[in-house]
Chains A and B, each alone.
Chain A
Amino acid sequence: MARGRRAPRMCDPAAVFRRLVPAPLRERVFDPAIADACRERRVRRRRRRGPIARAGAEALFVCRVLNAVRECRAMARDARQPFDAPRERPALMTRQDFMFALRMLRKAPGFAAAAILATALGIGANAAIFTVVKHVLLQPLPFPDPSRLVDVNEYGREGRATAVSPPNFMDWRVQNRTLSGISVYGDQVLTLSGGPEPVRVLAGTIDAEFLNVLRMQPQLGRALTVDDTRPGARQVVLLGHDLWQRSYSGDRAVVGRSVTLEGLPYEVVGVLPAGFDFPGESELWIPLRFAPDDLASNQRGAHYLAAVGRLRDGVTAGQASADLDRIEQELARQFPDKIEGYTVRAVPLLNSMVEGVQRPLLVLFGAVGFVLLIACVNVSNLLLARATTRTGEIAVRSALGASRWRLVRQLLAESLVLSLAGGAAGLLLGSWGVRALMAVAPADLPRAATVSMDATVLLFSVALSLLAGIVFGTAPALVGSRPDLTVFLKDVRRDGGSTGGRRRVRAVLVAAQVALALILLAGAGLAVRSFNRLVHVHPGFQAANVITLRIALPEGPYPTMASTVQFYRDYVDRIRQQPGILAAGAVSIAPVTRAGFGGTFTIYGRPEGNDEGNAQVRSTTPGYLETLRIPLRAGRVFDGRDSETAPRVAIISEAAARRFWPGENPVGRQIRVHVNESNRSPREIVGVVGDVRTRGLELDPVPVIYVPHPQYGGDGMAIMARTAGDPMQALPQMTNALKTLAPGVAFSRAQTMEDMMSANVAEPRFRSLLLSVFALVSLALAAVGLYGVVAFSVSQRRGELGLRMALGAAPSQVLRIVLREGMTPVAAGIAAGLAGAAVLARVMRSLLFDVDPLDPLTFAAVALTLSVVALVACYLPARRAMTVDPAGTLR
């Protein structure tokens, strides 16, 4: 028997609640009581098996724990309180208030269900979006002291981030005074072989400082050293935890073993801890090595790396930016042709990672806030209407001596019960909502894998529910707790105590609801219109019936440019020979993928200072332009003539022709591309082709220079094939051809061009879809709320309407009266909503494509839609008003 003075570890729920127990009572009062309860639970479980008995034992145990907590707290309170201490102030709300509220709501199940549903929709939408916002935008990065990490980037002359040039980075590293460390990194997809099938994995290429800057240590083995990053050093690799578990079964002896990457042996020197996958979703890390040429001065304009730094203590990101920019400006004076006009900025790493999704997510968060507000206004209106029907009860309670505060407290307790029940249902809806959101979220949403509901979301939802209860309960509680005894005593039946003040409050609430719904509808309308414009943009090629897959040749079996050129020539030829394939070709970067590769080029025959241009560069095989049906505007396309040894040629896009040869025929002119071939002979332009949206559908076409793959090379290419029928049917033929030709070569990203374009607009689609859903929910809530108010008003005014009809009013006049009363606040709401939408639409300006934030068509359409829906919501109860029997109401 082991003895100890320390309290033993407790059953889990008890361990959580133990924190609520005052410290002096924990060890000798709470713990042994819970130990007894644990034993009791164990005995019960043993005696009676089965899920119901088990659940019963659990429930009893939880009750025992909660009671123990309550008792211990009471003991501590009694111990503190002397016998003659003054009585505690009465609680804000007592258990009795809540029990009474529950009884009252049980008497009106329809009303309770409607209020709970409305609240649940609002809370559920908020819980779902907050879950995404929290995990994507707010969760700190999983590194020690993450707030001091900054993303360092160079910004080009147009103010756009351009990535980092290696020689510039080396100068920042040596000269900066604000960073305790700075590291440069990139990523690339590599083929990992050795298993049954070669697999493509994302690899981080990192320098020796990378892990130090992030303050991460390998779980096994060692980090990279400066020696590992020297050119010619033996190849080493760090494995990610997941890859280590998946491919090596977590074998600790993997360190020191050899793995095959790109057909070459790499020694495993370490394993990084679980959860570490930076940059991107890297699964392994290899050293980033700079050849002397990479650091030469002529590479100062070559921007292709990312940099991360750690701020020294007490230094802000702004100060680091200023420090690094000072160095950059000094370099710009030395190398004006390369980086003049460039700036450097250091921004918090988290901000930089979520920059692209921050605004869309915040817009969605704002939208669900509106949905909740509309739901609150709706419930508020329902409560007001109900308070009117309870005038008698309130008057009697007041007459019996209940104070105003007592009545307010009671009515607020009812609101809180409703809001908490709505919150509980909302959490359920929210958990489904999160799953639905992640199903439609763009694939490149950062940190999407971590999104799930947790205790913070739970607390947020509970707090929001309480807030909603107070927001929608306060006005009805204040209005409802002021009983007008004279009205009540005069005649309850006639007007049910619905005074002018209450009608005005209801009208204001309806107007607010309509205004909020209109703002949301306008936002959704703009997003949908923008998305519609985007998907109808012509990309510059015909995407239908085209399949694409990506290949990156391993360096081992394909060490030379000649071998890669031969491979792609053979592979494209084989695909062309497959039945059902109409055309095939390959390009270094597929269009509309957001990836870019380019740089400056020299135009021959121009005076110095006016002889340089900047363009994207695409290496293509013959057949690529024809496969995508990119139209030829002048000259010719590439063909078999453009071999390795043939005269060097290029084709340019129309945008390049317009910008660099305005009013001239560029065919026959000579250029020299700097990227990758700065020392080679010039190329002759042999053709001009139509513009293609290379970087995304929303971005205008940029100048592109196409170069023949046999003359430019490239290990990684996107293979394109145009088919007669369903393009995905051609995939087995393409993969079989690859297996036959090069069994060790893996492919990735097999998809149709239409799917690729669809993925390109995934984020705007996600945004417009969600905004539309939220707008429709708000429209439905507003319509139901309006219907409820008008229907209630009609039922309250039956006597008055009957009297009017008895005095000669025609049914159509009664209809007009009711419609006027219903539509007046709607008109006010639409006016206020249009003004609000005009202000808030500006927030969306940067998210819209080819649509003005004040687009009159959108605003008119949403105002009209809302008016029609409101008219229908008013008309239905108004029609009932026409059927009032004058004689019956007068009796």
Chain B
Amino acid sequence: MSPRRIPEITHLQFLVLGMLREGERPGRSLRRALARHGVQRTGPAFYQMMARLEDAGLVAGAYDQKIVDAQIIKERRYALTPAGDAAWTATRAFYSEAIDTYGARKARPAHV
């Protein structure tokens, strides 16, 4: 069996897709969750990444509008698409295989 091809998504995208596997989330919530992993991105930079994921068909974005305390609250929400789920699964499988293949070798004690 030939080895898996390297995934086309970045670590950050992998992280975002993983977060969305739990369910649909607003962009703001994703940004906050990423910040906990030390990822500080400006609004435009983050949403540009999300737009690219949308273009690739990995996530679906839509505007959400609700009224809270007589104020209109607006945000863009994202949901994982089947293709996104498949990309995440493939990436995870790639890394699992990479760990299985190469991780064990690295774990050997060094020659003294």
Contacts and interface: CB of A to CB of B under 8 A. Distances in A.
Contacts of A37: 43
Given A38-B74, A71-B42, A32 B47 contact: yes
Interface string A25-65: 10011111111111100100000000000000000000010
A25 B48 contact: yes
Nearest to A65: B43
A35 B42 contact: no
Interface string B19-48: 000000001100100000000001111111
A81 to B, nearest CB: 16
A107 interface: no
Given A28-B76, A29-B51, A36 B43 contact: yes
Contacts of B50: 28, 32
A9 B62 CA distance: 14
Given A28-B51, A32-B47, A71-B42, A1 B28 contact: no
Nearest to B44: A71
A2 B66 contact: yes
B65 A42 contact: no
A8 interface: yes
B71 A8 contact: no
B61 interface: yes
A75 B44 contact: yes
A33 B45 CA distance: 9
A29 B44 contact: yes
B64 to A, nearest CB: 6
A12 to B, nearest CB: 13
A435 B71 CA distance: 38
Given A1-B64, A28-B61, A33 B47 contact: yes
Given A2-B65, A6-B63, A25-B48, A68 B71 contact: no
Contacts of A28: 47, 50-51, 54, 61, 76
Contacts of A808: none
Contact of A4 (B43, B47, B65, B75): B65
A64 B43 CA distance: 9
A36 B63 contact: no
Nearest to B49: A29
Nearest to A33: B43
Given A3-B64, A28-B50, A28-B51, A35 B44 contact: no
Interface in A197-211: none
A4 B63 contact: yes
B110 interface: no
Contact of A33 (B42, B64, B66): B42
Given A25-B48, A36-B27, A31 B76 contact: yes
B72 interface: yes
B73 interface: yes
A812 to B, nearest CB: 72
A75 B71 contact: no
Nearest to B71: A42
A1 B44 contact: no
Nearest to A73: B44
A89 interface: no
A1 B64 CA distance: 7
A67 interface: yes
Contacts of A34: 43
Given A1-B64, A3-B64, A4-B63, A33 B44 contact: yes
Contact of B43 (A7, A42, A68): A68
B104 to A, nearest CB: 39
B39 to A, nearest CB: 15
A75 B28 CA distance: 21
A5 interface: yes
Contacts of A25: 44, 48, 51
Nearest to A7: B63
Q: Is the interface of A mostly helix, strand, loop or mixed?
A: helix
B47 A8 contact: no
A72 interface: yes
Interface residues of A, number: 29
Contacts of A2: 64-66
Nearest to A67: B42
Contacts of B71: 42
A233 B60 CA distance: 69
Contacts of B72: 8-9
Scoring B46, B48, B54, B62 by chain A CB atoms within 10 A of each residue's CB, the highest score goes to B48
Interface in B8-23: none
B75 A3 contact: no
B54 to A, nearest CB: 7
A32 B62 CA distance: 10
Contact of B74 (A5, A8, A30): A8
Contacts of B64: 1-3
A68 B47 CA distance: 11
Interface in A1-23: 1-9
Nearest to A46: B69
Contacts of B74: 8, 35, 38
Contacts of B66: 1-2
Contacts of A9: 72
A740 B71 CA distance: 60
Contacts of A7: 63
B33 to A, nearest CB: 14
A552 B20 CA distance: 81
B65 A39 contact: no
Nearest to A6: B63
Contact of A3 (B44, B46, B47, B62): B62
Scoring A3, A7, A37 by chain B CB atoms within 10 A of each residue's CB, the highest score goes to A3
Contacts of A39: 28, 73, 75
A197 B76 CA distance: 60
Contact of B63 (A3, A42, A67, A75): A3
A75 B44 CA distance: 9
Contacts of B75: 32, 35-36, 39
Nearest to B42: A71
Nearest to B67: A2
B73 A32 contact: no
Contacts of A32: 27, 43, 47, 50, 75-76
A344 to B, nearest CB: 60
B59 to A, nearest CB: 11
A3 B62 CA distance: 7
Contacts of A72: 44
A31 B51 CA distance: 12
Scoring A29, A32, A72 by chain B CB atoms within 10 A of each residue's CB, the highest score goes to A32
B65 A75 contact: no
Contacts of A42: 71
A176 B16 CA distance: 75
Scoring B44, B63, B73 by chain A CB atoms within 10 A of each residue's CB, the highest score goes to B44
Given A38-B74, A39-B75, A5 B45 contact: no
Nearest to B27: A32
B44 A68 contact: yes
Contacts of A29: 44, 47-48, 51
A75 B31 CA distance: 19
Nearest to B62: A3
Nearest to B66: A1
Interface string A227-260: 0000000000000000000000000000000000
A8 B42 contact: no
A289 B63 CA distance: 61
Contacts of A71: 42, 44-45
Contacts of A5: 62-63
Contact of B48 (A3, A6, A31, A75): A75
Contacts of A31: 63, 76
Given A2-B64, A33-B42, 13 more contacts: A1-B66, A3-B64, A5-B63, A7-B63, A8-B72, A9-B72, A30-B44, A32-B43, A34-B43, A35-B74, A36-B31, A39-B73, A75-B48
**5 closest pairs, A vs B, by CB?**
A33-B43, A32-B76, A8-B74, A71-B44, A28-B51
8 contacts: A4-B65, A25-B44, A28-B51, A28-B76, A29-B51, A32-B47, A34-B43, A36-B28
